[in-house]
Chains A and B, each alone.
Chain A
Amino acid sequence: MHDPHVILKVISKFLVPFIALFAFYVQFHGDFGPGGGFQAGVILASAVILYALIFGLEAAKKAFPPSWVRIGMSSGVLLYGGTGVLTWILGGDFLSYGVLAHDPAHGQHYGIIAVELGVLCSVTTVMIAIFYAFGSRQPEVDEDNW
């Protein structure tokens, strides 16, 4: 009944969605100012990691299954590379976004959004993968004996 971490749990439950939202803000603001996939990916991953720290690894793995991690890593790379392959198919050089739309400036826009989404996907999952890999080891010292 008596949970010593009640404040932590309430506060972090409140924070997690805002961290995720901020990650997407950084992601999409990357077109017009500082930001982008790398930073957004790390922020998004930190939301999951915070959740895991407070509610335990098992709960986090339910929210974000480890099987997503491997798929996310690969699909991020594929999204990035796939954009390049698409520009090949449309007859341009690799990653020459200009061919993606009639107006080269718009093509640049679409291209960079796709590529940054790929980066977001990979960075988020890699960060979570690293956390899961180390977090799921059996601790040497019991939690109560810290």
Chain B
Amino acid sequence: MSSLILDQYNYAVVIILMMTGLYVVFASRNLIKKLVGLSVFQTSVFLLYITIGKVSGGQPPIVESHGTDHVNSETTLFASIGELESVVQSSSGVLYSNPLPHVLILTAIVVGVATLAIGLSLVVRVREVYGTIEEDKIEEYDRIYYKEIIERQ
């Protein structure tokens, strides 16, 4: 049991972070804390992807250039996937980690930052309009505010 955890501690870390994040999102009534929870939750997914991209004993996925000066660096430019694959295979014996998850996560990080920025700017607007960032109070203010409007009509 303990060896299972030690061998796959990366998943344990991911799961702990994931659950922490989700719990914070659902349990806190403070808008900023919820966003913090959301960020932790999203970050755990980034970790999950990065750990699945690692191949045991794999090198960083950079194909060595044969000519180091950029004038003669034709070998690093590929017109097609086939050409790239042939170069990767020709440098035989070298095991590369999978670079694809990293690329995916770069995109996911950008998406996460965009979400966080939009979320924070919404919180700023809420703070300006309501004067609070506690969900309970916002709901209470809305109840009072709209009850008055309806009664006035």
Contact = CB atoms under 8 A, between A and B. Distances in A.
B74 A32 contact: no
Contacts of A126: 114
Given A33-B62, A34-B62, A98 B121 contact: no
Interface residues of B, number: 17
Given A32-B65, A134-B121, A105 B74 contact: yes
Given A38-B106, A38-B110, A137-B124, A32 B76 contact: yes
Most chain A CB inside 10 Å of its own CB: which residue of B80, B117, B121? B117
Interface string A124-137: 00100010011001
A98 B106 CA distance: 25
Contact of B79 (A32, A34, A98, A134): A98
B70 interface: yes
Interface of A is mostly: helix
B-side interface mostly: helix
Contacts of B114: 126
Contacts of B77: 105-106, 108-109
A56 interface: no
A91 interface: no
A109 B73 CA distance: 11
Nearest to B114: A126
Interface string A32-45: 11100010000000
A130 B79 contact: no
Interface of B: 62, 65, 70, 73-74, 76-80, 106, 110, 114, 117, 120-121, 124
Interface of A: 31-34, 38, 98, 103-109, 123, 126, 130, 133-134, 137
9 closest A-B pairs by beta carbon, nearest first, are A104-B79, A105-B77, A105-B79, A130-B117, A109-B77, A32-B76, A33-B62, A38-B106, A108-B77
Given A31-B76, A105-B77, A106-B77, 19 more contacts: A32-B65, A32-B70, A33-B62, A34-B62, A38-B106, A38-B110, A98-B79, A104-B80, A105-B74, A105-B79, A107-B79, A108-B77, A108-B78, A108-B79, A123-B110, A126-B114, A133-B117, A133-B121, A134-B121
